[in-house]
Chain A
């Protein structure tokens, strides 16, 4: 059975797509595109699709991944184009390659995120980041299905820094409209700090909102409007705090994000 690994993006207003919503949309897209998808055998067959850890609902992403099993061989480039055309704009299929190398899940051990904080100045953000990094442990609470639980938001954080603003809105390439923070929201015209965050995948996972809760805990950082978060990359976290492309196999792993943490 041919297996293909795919990277896709969740952009603009479709950042509000939950993982379950995406899974339903993908299965329909497979049927629209007439992809010869393999099904599990049994009483109620399920399509053979497995997902890497999904970005939270409301968070945009340039780096979501799944692996799909097929009944007959197809050209990965055809699959990429066909799926992209069959999904609504904003759920964009970016890459597809034959699955090779180690198990997909093992290859994805970290994520890099970009967090926009409209209404927060660089200096306020930098002070909070400094306090966060200086702490050995930052306890935060999160509501989970099994109730309130406490976790350490500090230890999985490999890198956290305020980034120089390359462009005022901090837009990610390829974002579709409707995403620029408005002046009323303290956006393009007001201050808008940008954080770069690299997190090691742990269980339970520590997500950007946990780190933001940590920034609130150590420095009372309280953004006036909800932050906008984008996952920029997922992959294997190297000892240098870089993230390598999980679709590339072999010695020539290329870094897709992150800078060495010195």
Chain B
């Protein structure tokens, strides 16, 4: 983005942005100034990070990862971290028309002036938004075209475990937990700048790559076989590791972030103080990438959680607390935590929530404890698969009896509305597996009516499309094509409504299979998919995670234009099953999981063999702990939450 006048690095562009704001929707999302936001002088800092969540402010602002890194970095006296989010198309057009660059919301500095641009990808559907931000920032889209004046563009988040589709646009990617990684990268950049940047951008990237935990795509060449599969991925220079390893932050009590939560003025999707009660999950659900790549389980202690909630509420003024994790009911002291917090905040307007979807009666007990202060709005359970058979395939160990008993316990406990979450398109799935969901839902309502004697109970069946993810046992699986998914979803709707009395008590929510299909392309894509992403972006693709912006036809057209000349296709990436010998695009990126164990688990899935959780059974050798030199960190600690001293009496 050309500047009309000469200006200092890091100078605010707010004077040029402000006249544009009355012309856009919800301008408050672009002005910053939130409680908890940090402002620092540009010239008094040496390493400067722009942190981006590549979606609209209302989605990105509450993101825990960005908030934690923002705080960790700004605690360093000589480090400046500011945040930037995707601008909506109305402002994008105005920024282009008036030559205003992508800016940070904190001090409205041009993103292109920072040393590093760190982008957190929770989902692959944010890739086109990365390109918009780079382009608006005046940063060349292709990393190869950047020079010493441009920021290092660095990806993190779960999607960074296979960054190959955006490898051409990235300088680097970090796998795993970010708290310590960003500090280590900061140290390298600080030293490099202090030495006068010897060797320029290439040398800095080399120093990052040598840590063996920062992946620099340009230092690796991908070679292909005549049939389109990858032959090998190898470093193209000495001194660069063959495999790049994920980062794991141990001892969450030593990292009690966020301490000073950012409190938005604009309305956002989650307005609450969120505390991670543990990280990692070893339930072993085979579709779940998060559960595979965040191992091992590391619990935060009950007392740290209590302190964080107390402090976080005081600092933010939020009246809602979320106890987050991948399966919150599994914390070794969850009973004591919920009981203690419910006691502490009884009679106040603070509401507590536990986004757990575990299907058992204990989960209902926890929900009852947390609902002491508030309403019994609704409970969500995630059996994920409709038939007993498919639940064995995905390793979701819930029997039909468990499910019915749990839901009926909830109805008896006063909940009138229960949401059941399932997936469609799972490996080995048949029409019959999906139709079983209708039978389950009917059974839930019938038993619920018998037990409560009331007709005033409802359940909602919510269906998501399955997307095979890298670093999971399903990474080799073929996706079902969108037509099959849509046919099954339609048949399921008919089956639910086949009994009108029961059907009336059942809500049905689903999306068509097409966005998941594109997510499947991006999840398991290799570097060749980068051309498709750029094609879609140049064709106007933005905000692909939003159904009103997503265009399946645009993606298909881009695939048809870019992939056949390379000997591959959309179907080749999505509906094709991979064999054990195939080199996968992320094989050089080490999540700690032993590839042989993943393959064995995939074979177990096909044989409908279940696997237990290593927290309660002996280690089953997934490989993570020895490879990463980590261990399970769980309680119980035996400690309790004491009552708080009231502030106001």
Contacts and interface: CB of A to CB of B under 8 A. Distances in A.
Nearest to A12: B33
A184 B23 contact: no
B430 interface: no
B375 A44 contact: yes
Contacts of A45: 349
B602 interface: no
B19 A225 contact: yes
Contacts of A29: 317
A185 B317 contact: no
Contacts of B21: 16, 58
Contacts of B266: 21
A43 B319 CA distance: 16
Contact of A88 (B5, B30, B35): B35
Given A28-B316, A184-B4, A90 B28 contact: no
A14 B15 contact: no
A24 interface: yes
B16 A32 contact: no
B33 A31 contact: no
Interface string A86-105: 11111000000000000000
A18 B28 contact: yes
Interface in B6-58: 12, 14-16, 18-19, 21-23, 26-28, 30-35, 37
B581 interface: no
Contacts of B16: 182, 184-185
B499 to A, nearest CB: 33
B297 interface: no
A124 B243 CA distance: 70
B647 A16 contact: no
B263 interface: yes
Contacts of B37: 88
A30 B32 CA distance: 21
Nearest to A45: B349
A20 interface: yes
Given A57-B27, A184-B4, A32 B315 contact: yes
B27 A178 contact: no
B607 to A, nearest CB: 51
Given A21-B265, A21-B267, A13 B32 contact: yes
Contacts of B23: 226
Contacts of B14: 13, 178
Contacts of A155: none
A27 B271 CA distance: 13
Contacts of B267: 20-21, 24
A17 B19 contact: no
Given A86-B317, A88-B265, A185 B19 contact: yes
B19 A89 contact: no
Given A28-B263, A178-B15, A182-B15, A58 B315 contact: no
A163 interface: no
A202 interface: no
B317 A14 contact: no
A69 interface: no
A41 to B, nearest CB: 13
Interface residues of B, number: 38
- Size category, A interface: 35 or more
Contacts of A174: none
A21 B57 CA distance: 14
B265 A17 contact: yes
A174 B89 CA distance: 34
Interface string A165-209: 000000000000011111011000000000000000000000000
Given A178-B15, A184-B4, A17 B648 contact: no
Contact of B317 (A13, A31, A57): A31
Nearest to B5: A184
A18 B21 CA distance: 13
A20 B28 CA distance: 11
B34 A30 contact: no
B314 A89 contact: no
Contacts of B648: 34, 36
Given A14-B33, A21-B28, A44-B375, A226 B22 contact: yes
A57 B647 contact: no
Contacts of B31: 13-14, 16
Contacts of A34: 647-648
A39 interface: yes
Interface string A40-80: 00011100000000000110000000000000000000000
Contacts of A17: 28, 265
B318 interface: yes
B41 to A, nearest CB: 13
Nearest to A37: B349
A178 B109 CA distance: 12
Contacts of B265: 14, 17, 21-22, 24-25, 88
A22 B108 CA distance: 22
B314 A39 contact: no
Contact of A181 (B15, B317, B647): B15
B27 A32 contact: no
A58 B33 contact: no
Nearest to A33: B317
A57 B267 CA distance: 14
A28 B34 contact: no
Contact of B33 (A27, A89, A180): A89
B19 A32 contact: no
B15 A88 contact: no
Interface string A138-156: 0000000000000000000
A86 to B, nearest CB: 7
Contacts of A18: 26, 28
Contacts of A14: 31, 33, 265
Interface of A: 13-14, 16-18, 20-22, 24-25, 27-32, 34, 36, 39, 43-45, 57-58, 86-90, 178-182, 184-185, 225-226
Given A34-B647, A58-B22, 7 more contacts: A16-B21, A18-B28, A22-B265, A25-B263, A28-B316, A31-B317, A182-B16
**Closest CB pairs A-B (n = 8):** A28-B317, A32-B317, A182-B15, A13-B31, A31-B317, A16-B27, A226-B22, A178-B14
